[in-house]
Amino acid sequence: MTTRPIAVVGASAAGLAAAEALRRGGWRGPLTLIGDEPHLPYDRPPLSKQLLHGAWEPHRLRLRTADQLAPLDLDLRLGTRATGLDVATRTLTLDGGERLGCAGVIIATGVAARTLPGADRIAGVHTLRSLDEALALRARLANGGAPASEGVASGGPPGSAGVAAGGGGGRRRLVIVGNGVLGCEVAAVARELGHEVTLVGIDETPMAAAVGTEVGALLAAEHRARGVRLCTGAVDGFETAPADPAGTGAPRVTAVRLAKGGTPAGEGVTAGGGEGGASRLPADLVLLAIGSRPAVEWLADPALDTTDGLRCDAYCAAAPGIYAAGDVARWDHPVHGRPLRFEHRMNATEQGMAAARNLLAELAATGPAAPGAGDDAPTPERRPFAPVPYFWSDQYDLKLQAYGLTAGADRVEATVLDRVERRLLALYGRDGRAVGVLAAGLPPRQLRALRAVIATPLPWEEARERIGAATAAG
């Protein structure tokens, strides 16, 4: 009898971590890794930083080379999309029509960028979630807004023409729609490359949803000091010009329109009298950084809850033999006592390993359902996944690092420890307990101490005292 494979859907950081953990955990049966992009698994955080800047080339983002993947003996399906999953039989349907019966499935499909109606038909309007999207935007910034060359679009080798930062393209007007983490990071890179940048958000304060208005105000001051123009309002549409005959044939963007009531807040923002009183922001390029949606549209089985990601229990299980990891997973965090979903790099790796370990434990407990596990493999036990959430953001020479939960806090206390050195600290509370901490400019030893304090939610005053002691230690 042929052993059914374990399938990991999503050749992402979470998916790769799961595949490697399955092999380490003793799975000797077939192992299929499915990815909808043609690339080997790569790291995504550098897309909006080092890669976009031109400091890194695509090969530096690879999490593993083909030679490093070979010992995993993967059935690697790149450029393949899963289109359905029958939960009862653990059968995947792939975009070529193939049906793949599995011993178990780990879903690590991540998220997709949100966009605006009609944006995909306008040249110069970009999203930034994949390697190809990042390369396309980098080429536009490097060569003055012209379409990416063939070598760039295909991820050409280091030194390809038109890829290097500041590649003679001249100064461009970039409007970034969305002032969250991604928008702020791209704004910083574009300013360092010498472009004019306008950052537009519905919230008045950049990154307010992620870090609160107190820290967001400090970030706003940093961006203004670097020449970024900040603007508040909802986007009403785009203005375009006829297509360049030598280009893609699509109309090209010339401006972003804000809905009536949009308020340009930065000095020097051109806000012409648009139709109906709307503001008009001239643009050569536009980045839509308006958030993401979990990639769950292919999961139509009613046995699964796909509200804001794939709903899982504390063990990362969505159903018997079906687990999830990374940005797509919304699971019961045993410490915080509620379902959470994190779009953070560290969580992707940790959750991928946890999902693999718990799937193997489930298969081992059901005996014949796990014939691929070696006889000498230790018997695993399922364990709840209870990480201390961590994320970071690099903007200019400022590095923000946070532990715990910073979004959704009902109490925030932010302190600038040293304005010149850009050292700051913020404590986040919820229901009377401290649940998160954010810092910039602190040494690694103090950061580790902050993590220890916030690992388990403490009463606000107790956490405040312990964090004060940790940072006073120097």
CATH number, residue 271: 3.50.50.60
234 and 157 in a common domain: yes
220 and 164 in a common domain: yes
% the chain with pLDDT above 70: 86
162 and 252 in a common domain: yes
What is the average pLDDT across 391-420?
Answer: 92
Is residue 57 one of the residues assigned to a domain?
no
Is residue 445 one of the residues assigned to a domain?
yes
Provide the H-helix boundaries in 25-59. 50-53
Is residue 72 one of the residues assigned to a domain?
no
77 touches 92 (CB < 8 A)? no
183 and 231 in a common domain: yes
Q: What angle do CA 120, 111, 430 make, to 5 degrees?
A: 125
The lowest-confidence range among 91-95, 168-172, 308-312 is: 168-172
Is residue 130 one of the residues assigned to a domain?
yes
280 and 135 in a common domain: yes
Secondary structure element (H or E) that encloses residue 271, with its range: none
Is residue 52 one of the residues assigned to a domain?
no
102 and 145 in a common domain: no
Rounded to the nearest 10°, the torsion over CA 353, 319, 343, 6 is: 40
pLDDT at 269: 38
Is residue 388 one of the residues assigned to a domain?
no
410 and 268 in a common domain: no
Report the half-sphere exposure of 378 (CA within 13 A, side-chain side): 6
Q: How many other C-beta atoms lie within 10 A of the C-beta of residue 51?
A: 25
5 touches 30 (CB < 8 A)? yes
pLDDT greater than 70 at residue 379: no
pLDDT at 247: 65
Count of domains observed in the chain: 3
pLDDT at 472: 77
pLDDT at 260: 76
Quote the CA–CA distance of 88 and 166 in Å, as a whole number.
54
* Boundary (domain end) residue, out of 369, 388, 421: 369
pLDDT at 249: 79
Q: 49 or 275, which is more confident?
A: 49
188 and 160 in a common domain: yes
Residue 285 main-chain phi, psi, to 5 deg: -140, 150
pLDDT at 147: 39
349 and 416 in a common domain: no
pLDDT at 270: 40
CATH of the domain at 454: 3.30.390.30
185 touches 400 (CB < 8 A)? no
What is the average pLDDT across 194-203?
Answer: 96
Q: What are the Cα distances from residue 158, in Å, to 13, 58, 152, 218, 378?
A: 23, 8, 10, 37, 45
245 and 132 in a common domain: yes
pLDDT greater than 70 at residue 246: no
The distance of Cα 113 from the centroid of its chain, to the nearest Å, equals 9
Only one residue has tokens 């080429």, namely 139
* Boundary (domain end) residue, out of 254, 288, 322: 288
Provide the H-helix boundaries in 193-343. 208-225
Only one residue has tokens 């178990």, namely 104
The lowest-confidence range among 47-56, 87-96, 247-256, 375-384 is: 375-384
Range of the domain at 440: 397-472
* Boundary (domain end) residue, out of 253, 288, 323: 288
Is residue 184 one of the residues assigned to a domain?
yes
pLDDT tens digits for 126-161?
A: 999 999 999 999 999 987 544 333 332 333 333 333
pLDDT at 473: 63
pLDDT at 366: 84
Classified as helix, coil or strand, 91 is: strand
225 and 200 in a common domain: yes
Is residue 51 one of the residues assigned to a domain?
no
pLDDT at 328: 98
341 and 421 in a common domain: no
